[in-house]
Structure 1
């Protein structure tokens, strides 16, 4: 549907009706590769959500919840609302007899590709990555970022001269952090300072990281500190951070879905 344009921030990627194994083997890997990926379990919540995120890429897994006819009607119905014109749709489909596949695909638009679910897992994964790159999923953004302001368990802590310093994290990516430091603790940091063995606390999971202070800016009643993870930080720590970011974003989606009204159209009868 959408014309592919270079975006600074990239595009959200949704997988509708993924199995548990698909989430672990495909979605998890895509998140490690810095795609902004979400899972939606209930197809009835897809349209209300995508009306607010129309410039996205959405893959439908045709395995359960609806019959082939129901899925066909559901996907076809996106063409009836102009709000979805920026949306790119991909379909992941099991192996079907030629006639059934032809009937299912008749008149459907799937600009993000048609991918077979039953093929070799690596081949399927690479097809998905190829489709995402063709649709500019990452844009010019290299790293996915999560907002931590509403997370009471997201901070950095370290000791200096027997004094504990604590920075509240504003947001985080796998390469760095923006954090708040009180004006009263301004002497705790300086630009280009390297601090080793800092405790990164995310949801009560503590990880040791090495950091470098990249910038310090006055922001009213606090200092905004821009922090980069040093190259000496372990790959395990970086993967823990990526896992937190993925969980943070997915939980934000779940929270928004709780207040969304279900799509009540019976797509089996259209």
Structure 2
């Protein structure tokens, strides 16, 4: 069965270096990639095969010995039930080690030397993700919020405030069900929207660009104003990143197959 190329690929970092965690993760999400950090190589071996064509970057500087990493990655590459594309992140610039991974093991996503600096490493990773079509055909990463706690919106109409339940959200808009009887018209401008994202507040505005009736109520699609400032978008990206990470943490702790919130 072929992968749905409309959806994004999962991008995993196994035992990521601190410089990667602090300087790159949320930026990759802001580039609309589904990013996950993992810190358990034993459980990860079971989990990763459940996803279609994931991309995995390994920190080979920690947790396992050099030979153990080579065996671990080789087994993943050669496993019949695994479709992962693999790459290596390391501060070790040994040419023989690079040859082992690139020529002998054949890691397709590169041997990335962090000694080159974060900016250059960032560029290599972004080019690798782009070359492997990690975004899919969807331009923006969208997160399912329907089952999340402490995630809703408040919006003011006239003198009254109404609460809405967010169905899904991206950096450019959201789908929401309001607890009101009146129906909103297409192109109606919502000037004072308070997003509550896991308890963190961001104020945005935007027009209603469409709606559809469902068993859960009328779902309205709201497009965020293009003038939304970077601080608010950063907060939305932060929420997306936290939601993705919670998702993989739950999957890693569970013995059941993964279900993803990201599209």
- Compute the TM-score of the two structures, normalised by the length of structure 1: 0.88
Runs of 4+ in 1 over 6 A off after TM superposition: none
> More deviation in 100-109 or 159-168?
100-109
Q: Contact 2:55–2:84 (CA<8 Å) still a contact in 1? A: yes
The 5 Å alignment of 1:56-205 reads 56-84=54-82, 86-103=83-100, 107-182=104-179, 185-187=180-182, 189-205=184-200
Distance in 2, Cα, partners of 1:33 & 1:236? 15
Measured on the aligned residues, the alpha-carbon RMSD in Å equals 2.1
Aligned-pair CA distance for 1:46 = 1.6
Cross-structure match for 2:261: none
The reply to whether residue 9 of structure 1 matches residue 10 of structure 2 is: no
Q: 1:218 to 1:107 in 2, by over 3 A?
A: same
Deviations 1:246-266 (A, max 9, x none): 1011101101111249xxxxx
**Which of 223, 226, 240 pairs up with 1:245?**
240
Q: Any idea what SS the aligned residue of 1:250 has?
A: helix
Match of 1:264 in 2: none
Deviation at 1:23, TM superposition (A): 0.9
- Equivalent pairs counted in the alignment come to 255
Partner residue in 2 for 1:223 = 218
Shift of 1:20: 2.6
Instruction: Give 1:24's match in structure 2, choosing from 4, 19, 22.
Output: 22
Check if 1:43 corresponds to 2:41: yes
| Residue segments in structure 2 that go unaligned for 5+ positions in a row | 257-263
Q: CA deviation at 1:148?
A: 0.9
Q: TM-score, normalised by structure 2?
A: 0.90
The answer on whether the counterparts of 1:11 and 1:138 sit within 8 Å (CA) in structure 2 is yes
1:111 positional shift: 0.9
Select the structure of larger CA radius of gyration: 1
Alignment CA distance shift 1:248-1:100 (3 Å): closer
> What's 1:236 paired with?
231
